[in-house]
Structure 1
C-alpha cells in the first residue's frame, strides 16, 4: 500500500502514534507553569476561612473545618472572592464550585492573574468553550496540578485522535484520571500490545476513537481482558471482539457467572448462554432485575419461548417500557380489532426503525386513536437504560 493510497483510518492512527508535542505558545507555557498562590497559604489556620467556606461555598461546618486547615490564615475576603468570581464568570454555578473546592480547597489561594487567567485562556485557544472547560475542570482536575507538565500535549494528542473536543470532554467525564494517563508510558505501549495480539490498524483506530479507556489501563489488565474474551469463544478477528472487550472491562467474573445462572433458570444451557453472549455481549451489562422483568414479560405475556430469545438475544437489549411493551401491545391491539398484519415475528418488528414502525402500525391506523395514544405515551428509545 503506498502512502498516497493509505486509507483515512490508517492515516489517523499514524498521526496519533507519531504525535510530537508542538512548541508551546506563550499562553500554553504559562498554563504549565508552577501555580502562584497567595502569600497566606503558608500561614497558620484561621477560623475565618471555615466560616467563609460555610457562608460562601456551601460547605457544612465539618467539611469547612477540615478544608480550612489547608488554607492558612486569610484575614479578608478579597483573595477567595476573586477566585470565586473568576470561576463564576466562566460559567461555574454554586454546586459546581462546591464540588471543585471539596476536592481542591487550596484553589481558593490561586492567583487569578498569574495562574487562572492564562490557564483558561490556553484551553480556550485550543477551542474549548466555557461549558467544555467547566466539565474538564470538574471531571479532570489534574489539569490544574503542576506535576502534569505535559497536559497540553496530552490534550492535543487526544484532540487529534478523537477528532473533536466534544468527544474528548465526554471521555473525560467518564474517567476523572483520563488526562493523567501517560501517552508514552501507557497509551502507546498498549497500542503496541494490541498490535502484537494481531489487532489490525483499522480496529486500533476504532479503539482510539470510540473506546479509548480500553487502552488507558495497565497492560496486565488489557492482556487479561483479551485472554478472557478468547476463552469465551470470541475470536480476535470477529467483529464483536472490541464490543466484547469493552463489556468485559466493566463486568466481573462473579457478575458474569450470575448472569449465566440467571438464564439457566429460564432453561438456557451454558452453551446457549455463551452463544447468546457472543452475539450480544451487552447482555451481561444489564442488571439482573432489568433482565428479570424483560424475560417475565416476553415469556409470560408474549408467549415467547426462552429458546427463541437465546437465539435472538439482541431483543433483550431493548427497553421494556420504551419498546418491548408498546410495540407488542400495538400489534396485539390491531389484531384484536381485525387488522390483518400477517405472521409477523417479534425478531422483525422489534428491530424496525422507529419511522418504519410508526408508518406501518401507528400512522396507517388512525381509526384507532386509543392505540395511537397508547404508543405515544411511552418515550421511544432503541436500547434499555
Structure 2
C-alpha cells in the first residue's frame, strides 16, 4: 500500500507535461485508497519509535498530540509523501519530533497542493524537501505558497531565504500584506535597498515579520546614536541597536571613551562612521587600543577619524603590517612620513605588491618574515630595539 501511495504521489506532484496538474489531482483523488477502519489496538508511541525513528522520550512527548489517531493510515500516507520528496529518515524524525501533527496532514488536500504551488514558483524537489524541514508546521498551510512567492522576489535567492528560515520560520506564517510588505516599504524609505534588507534579515531573522512599532523604535535608536537614515552605515547601525539595549550601548560608549581616551565628540564620530564597533568585545578593543596607541604611537584623535582600523584583525593584519612598514622605514626603504593607515587599508594582494615585492632583492627575507608574522609569529629580523 505504501509503495502504491508513493507511486500515486509521484504522478500527482510531477505529472507528464501533456497533462495539467488539475486533471491529475482530480483523477488521483477519485482513485483514493479504500477506507481504513479504526484499529483500536494502534499504539501511537510504538509507531513513532518503530516507523518514524523517534526516541522513546520523544515518542512519549509527541504521542500526546496524536492520541486521537486510531490507525496508521494517515501517518503512513504522510511518510510516503515525505519519502517521495526525498527526506531522509533523520529529517523525518526531526520533523515529527518538532511537529507531531504533521503526521495528521491531508496529503491530497493540503500537502500535495502546496508542493504543486512551490514547484510552480521554480523550487526543485530538493529545495522543497529542505523547506519542509525548515518550515515544519508552516508547510501545512497553503499560505506558504503566496508568502514564498513574495519572499523569493525580495530575497532574490532561495539560499539567502533559507538562511533566514533556518533561524526561524515566522516569515512563512506572517501576514504579507499587513506586516511584511509595510515593514519592507518603511525600511526602503529609510534608505535601505532590498539587498540591505536581505543582509539585515540574515542577521536579524525576525525583522520583516516584527511589529512596525518595534522597527520604528529601532530606526529611532540608530538615529539616536548619530547614524542618520540614508547613509551607508545605517544598516550596520540597525544591526547594532537591534542586539543591545540603550543602557548597554551607553555602557559600551563609556568604555570606548575610557579605552581610547576619546572625547564625547570623538566617540560620536567613531560610532557614526563605524557603528559595528558597539558589537566588539571589550577585550578586543583594549588590546587594539594598547597596540595602536602604545606600540604604533597613533594619537587617539587620529584613530577616532579612522575607526575602520578597529575592524581588522590585530594578529592577522594590524601587527604584521606595522612590523613590515617599520622595518622598511628603519632601513631607508620607505619614506618615514608614509601613513600607517594607508598601509592598513589596502587589500592583502595590493599590500604585498606595494610594500613587499619591490624590496625582495635588498631585503630577501622580508616576504618570509611577513608571512610568518601573519601566522602570529614574530621573526627575529622584525624585532627592533
TM-score, length of structure 2 as denominator length: 0.70
Matched residue SS, 1:344: coil
Alpha-carbon displacement from aligned partner over 1:210-250 (angstroms, at most 9, x marks no partner): 44564432111122123223333333354433432233222
Aligned to 2:95: 100
- Relative to structure 1, is the Cα distance of residues 343 and 152 closer, same or farther in structure 2, using a 3 angstrom cutoff? same
Secondary structure of the structure 1 residue equivalent to 2:66:
coil
Relative to 1, partners in 2 of residues 1:126 and 1:49: Cα closer, same or farther, differing over 3 Å?
same
Quick check: 1:69 aligned with 2:64?
A: yes
Gapped runs of 5+ residues in structure 2? 1-20, 27-35, 377-385
Is 1:160 the counterpart of 2:160? The answer is no
- Size of the aligned set, in residue pairs, is 338
After TM superposition, the structure 1 stretch with the greater mean CA deviation from structure 2, 252-261 or 81-90, is: 81-90
> 1:353 is matched with which residue?
347
Per-residue CA deviations over 1:89-109 (Å, capped at 9, x if unaligned) read: 655456544443331133345
For 1:41 and 1:252, how far apart are their aligned partners in 2?
56
1:57 maps to 2:83 = no
1:249-264 to 2 correspondences below 5 Å:
249-264=242-257
Give the number of the structure whose alpha-carbon radius of gyration is greater: 2
Q: Which residue of 2 aligns with 1:185?
A: 178
SS in structure 1 at match of 2:349: helix
In structure 2, the residue matched to 1:128 is 123
Question: Secondary structure of 1:220's match?
Answer: helix
Deviations 1:23-75 (A, max 9, x none): xx759x99xxxxxxx9879998644135438xx6363x433321233334889
SS at match of 2:228: coil
**Please, which of 290, 308, 320 is the counterpart of residue 284 of structure 2?**
290
Find the counterpart in structure 2 of residue 48 from structure 1: 46
Contact 1:349/1:357, CA 8 A, preserved across alignment: yes
2: CA distance, partners of 1:224 / 1:239: 19
Distance 1:41 1:331 in 2: 81
Q: Distance in 2 between matches of 1:226 and 1:128?
A: 34
1:225 aligned onto 2:218: yes
- Do the aligned partners of 2:325 and 2:334 also contact (CA within 8 Å) in 1? no
Q: Which residue of 2 is the match for residue 302 of structure 1?
A: 296
Deviation at 1:206, TM superposition (A): 5.2
SS at match of 2:337: coil
User: Is this contact kept in 1: 2:99–2:137, CA < 8 A?
Assistant: no
For the structure 1 residues 247 and 99, does the alpha-carbon distance in structure 2 shift closer, same or farther, using more than 3 Å as the test? farther
Matched, 1:140 2:101: no
TM-score by length of 1: 0.70
Q: Secondary structure, in 3 states, of the residue corresponding to 1:235?
A: coil
- TM-aligned CA deviation for residue 110 of structure 1: 4.8
Name the CA shift for 1:345/1:66 in 2 (closer, same or farther; >3 Å). same
The aligned counterpart of 1:328 is: 322
Q: Does 1:274 align with 2:268?
A: yes
Does the 8 Å contact 1:71/1:106 carry over to 2?
yes
Contact 1:44 1:73 in 2 (8 A): no
Shift of 1:278: 0.7
Q: Distance in 1 between matches of 2:40 and 2:359?
A: 75
Q: Is the CA contact 2:170–2:209 (under 8 Å) kept in the aligned structure 1?
A: no
CA distance in 2, matches of 1:41, 1:126: 40
Secondary structure at 1:265's aligned position in 2?
helix
Residue equivalent to 2:240: 247
- TM-aligned CA deviation for residue 141 of structure 1: 2.8
Structure 1 unaligned spans of 5+: 1-24, 31-37, 379-385
SS at match of 1:249: helix
- Give CA deviations for 1:276-326 in whole Å, capped at 9, x if unaligned: 111111111223343334334433443434333222211112233443334
